């Protein structure tokens, strides 16, 4: 299989195998006018198998969404066919409008204009808590 390199854009590497479509949809990549390549189940020495997304344009990516969905992702910014910058992600300390509070009595349920804000309380367990009602997510 031959996937062309990109001259300018973003490569999301080290995606957990089988999660590329979830990330594609979470980032809204289907609405982009540029080419997006989804490469699944690529052999990887470190991971066994991985997925890769190549975006043939320099767009704004929500790193909090990526870090929440798969903190092992590497974001490569490509310019002139070369990696200009490499970002390694981690679980974000704070999430805003990425997940929703499940507590039906939370103020965010009745006040739709409020941001859904969560703070990381347990990185090992990937546990977040709502800043308004302290409900766990």
pLDDT tens for the chain, 137 residues long, are 556 788 999 999 999 999 999 999 999 999 998 999 999 999 988 889 999 999 999 888 899 999 999 999 999 999 999 999 999 999 999 999 999 999 999 999 989 899 999 999 999 999 999 999 999 99
- The reply to whether 102 falls in a domain is yes
pTM of this structure: 0.85
Looking at the structure of the chain, the number of domains it has is 2
Q: Residue 37, class by beta-carbon neighbours within 10 Å (0-12 exposed, 13-18 middle, 19+ buried)?
A: middle
**Same domain assignment for residues 43 and 108:** no
**Same domain assignment for residues 76 and 25:** yes
**Same domain assignment for residues 47 and 68:** yes
Q: What are phi and psi of 34, to 5 degrees?
A: -95, 175
- The reply to whether 29 falls in a domain is yes
**Same domain assignment for residues 84 and 99:** no
Residue identified by tokens 């800043």 is 131
100-114: pLDDT as tens digits: 999 999 999 989 899
Domain of residue 83 covers 9-88
Asked whether 116 and 109 are in contact (CB, 8 A), the reply is no
* DSSP string across 7-46: SSEEEEEEEETT-HHHHHHHTTGGG-SS-EEEEEEEEETT
Check residue 114 and report its DSSP letter: S
pLDDT at 3: 64
- The reply to whether 1 falls in a domain is no
**Same domain assignment for residues 103 and 75:** no
pLDDT at 46: 85
pLDDT at 2: 59
């Amino acid at each position: 299989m031959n996937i062309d390199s990109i001259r300018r854009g973003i490569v999301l590497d080290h995606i957990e195998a089988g999660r590329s479509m979830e990330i594609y949809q979470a980032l809204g990549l289907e609405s982009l006018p540029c080419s997006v390549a989804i490469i699944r189940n690529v052999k990887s020495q470190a991971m066994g198998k991985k997925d890769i997304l190549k975006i043939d344009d320099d767009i704004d990516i929500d790193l909090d969404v990526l870090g929440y969905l798969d903190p092992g992702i590497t974001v490569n910014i490509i310019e002139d066919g070369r990696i200009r910058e490499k970002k390694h992600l981690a679980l974000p300390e704070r999430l805003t409008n990425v997940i929703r509070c499940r507590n039906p009595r939370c103020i965010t349920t009745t006040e739709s204009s409020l941001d859904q804000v969560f703070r990381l309380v347990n990185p090992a367990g990937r546990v977040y808590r709502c800043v308004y009602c302290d409900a766990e997510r």
